[in-house]
């Protein structure tokens, strides 16, 4: 594997993280008309159908696929989409969701009994201080409930990471396509139970071209393109070379939300972003700077 990224591969990686970062703005556009649980169900139905008829099933159990699909789809996305409907801004959602890295480390340590290294405690403290800054500045655009919901979504994402790690898969796209079979039906059932037929029918009736473009983008851009390219890059370069690029996801998320949706970027929000991203960067890069192996491998963005 080549530890040095050729320019073409670096541009591909940047394209993927740009798609994943700007996806939070796309989600916000889709939520203007579609109820959040229905939006999520449509996304995962389009991810798995018709792709499951063309993509071979990964050599893992259906139980593992179900665990991943339920945690990532029914758990993470239901919470994230409901929060983004009215409880948190897209830019901050893209930032807070990255706490999944530390939740994944915590779950891995809990399950394996490995010790947390001092540098990981320091990285966590930096990131948590950023979340505290956000909590101290909640308002009508980002409520305490929204913050808790996105943190809970990050925890579900971490659980999905653990399921993916246990599966031992090396190709992300088939795993996500087949896992989506277990994401879409529960979301659709929840949509009928929680949002109701009137909201579903009304949302579909009000949906315009931008709404359906957002749904298609979730499938084609965010999932099929994003994970196919990310998996291709990981097969050719060490994870330690590719994974740090994911730090740019909230940068793209906050920037595009400010530019396209007019989300304000006051000083406290920038400070929170610096703290969270500094914690993530330190946790990912410190082992490379010192030549040490982290107690737990830091995950990539497997649940966006």
- Model pLDDT for residues 228-256, shown as the tens digit of each residue: 888 888 888 877 778 788 889 999 999 99
Q: What's the residue count for the chain? A: 304
Is 294's pLDDT higher than 90? no
d(CA 270, CA 252): 13
Residue 296 in any domain: the answer is no
Task: Please check whether residue 217 lies inside any domain of the structure.
Answer: yes
pTM (2 decimals)?
A: 0.91
- Between residues 163 and 290, which one has the greater pLDDT? 163
Structure tokens at 72: 């990532």
Confidence of residue 301 (pLDDT cuts 50, 70, 90): low
| Cα–Cα distance, 92 to 84 (Å, whole number) | 10
Minimal CA–CA distance to 68: which of 157, 168, 172? 157
Is 129's pLDDT higher than 70? yes
- Tokens representing 46 are 């389009």
Residue 301 within a domain: no
Predicted pLDDT of residue 284: 80
Q: Name the token pair of 197.
A: 């037929």
Q: Taking the mean position of all CA atoms in its chain, how far away is CA 252?
A: 13
- pLDDT confidence band for 60 (50 / 70 / 90): very high
The answer as to whether 165 is a domain residue is: yes
Would the pLDDT of 275 be above 90? yes
Average per-residue pLDDT in the chain? 89
Q: Could you identify the residue written with the tokens 């996304």?
A: 43
Mean pLDDT over 116-125 rounds to 86
Domain assignment of residue 126, given as a range: 7-290
Say yes or no to pLDDT of 26 above 60.
yes
Residues 6+ apart with CB under 8 A from 207: 33, 34
- Burial of 54 from C-beta contacts in 10 A (0-12 / 13-18 / 19+): exposed
| 154 located within any domain | yes
Q: What does the block give as tokens for 262?
A: 């007019």
- What average pLDDT does the segment 23-32 reach? 95
Neighbours of 130 (CB within 10 A): 24
Q: Which two tokens stand for residue 290?
A: 């010192």
Please tell me what DSSP assigns to residue 219. Answer: I
Q: Is the residue at 299 inside a domain?
A: no
Q: Which residues contact 112 (CB under 8 A, 6 or more apart)?
A: 296
Q: Is the pLDDT of residue 210 over 70?
A: yes
Query: Which pLDDT band, with edges at 50, 70 and 90, does 196 fall under?
Result: very high
- Identify whether the C-beta of residue 85 lies closer than 8 Å to the C-beta of residue 36: yes
- Indicate the number of domains in the chain: 1
Residue with tokens 């994870």: 239
Model pLDDT, residue 235 = 80
In a domain, 1, yes or no: no
Phi-psi region of 109 (alpha: psi -120 to 50; beta: other; left: phi over 0): alpha
In the block, residue with structure tokens 């994943």? 20
Residue 231 in any domain: the answer is yes
Tokens 């030549």 belong to 291
Contact present, 263 and 90 (Cβ < 8 Å): yes
Give the angle subtended at the CA of 160 by the CAs of 275 and 271, to the nearest 5°: 10
């Amino acid at each position: 594997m080549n530890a040095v990224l050729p320019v073409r591969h670096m541009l591909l990686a940047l394209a993927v993280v740009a798609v994943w970062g700007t996806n939070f703005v796309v989600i916000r556009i889709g939520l203007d008309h579609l109820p959040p649980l229905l939006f999520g169900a449509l996304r995962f139905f389009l991810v798995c159908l018709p792709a499951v008829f063309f993509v071979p099933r990964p050599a893992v159990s259906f139980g593992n696929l179900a665990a991943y699909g339920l945690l990532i789809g029914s758990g993470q996305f239901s919470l994230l989409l409901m929060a983004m409907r009215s409880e948190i801004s897209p830019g901050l959602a893209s930032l807070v969701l990255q706490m999944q890295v530390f939740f994944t480390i915590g779950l891995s340590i809990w399950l394996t009994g490995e010790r947390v290294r001092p540098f990981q405690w320091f990285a966590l403290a930096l990131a948590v201080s950023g979340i505290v800054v956000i909590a101290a500045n909640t308002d009508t655009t980002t409520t305490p409930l929204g913050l808790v919901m996105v943190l809970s979504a990050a925890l579900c994402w971490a659980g999905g990471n653990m399921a993916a790690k246990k599966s031992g898969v090396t190709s992300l796209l088939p795993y996500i396509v087949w896992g989506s079979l277990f994401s879409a039906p529960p979301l659709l059932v929840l949509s009928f139970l929680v949002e109701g037929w009137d909201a579903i029918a009304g949302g579909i009736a009000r949906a315009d071209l931008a709404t359906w473009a957002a749904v298609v983008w979730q499938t084609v851009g965010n999932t099929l393109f994003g994970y196919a390219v990310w998996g291709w890059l990981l097969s050719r370069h060490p994870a330690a070379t590719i994974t740090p690029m994911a730090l740019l996801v909230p940068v793209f998320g906050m920037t595009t939300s400010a530019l396209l949706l007019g989300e304000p970027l006051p000083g406290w929000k920038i400070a929170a972003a610096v703290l969270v991203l500094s914690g993530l960067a330190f946790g990912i890069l410190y082992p490379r700077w010192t030549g040490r192996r982290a107690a737990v491998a830091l995950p990539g963005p497997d649940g966006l």
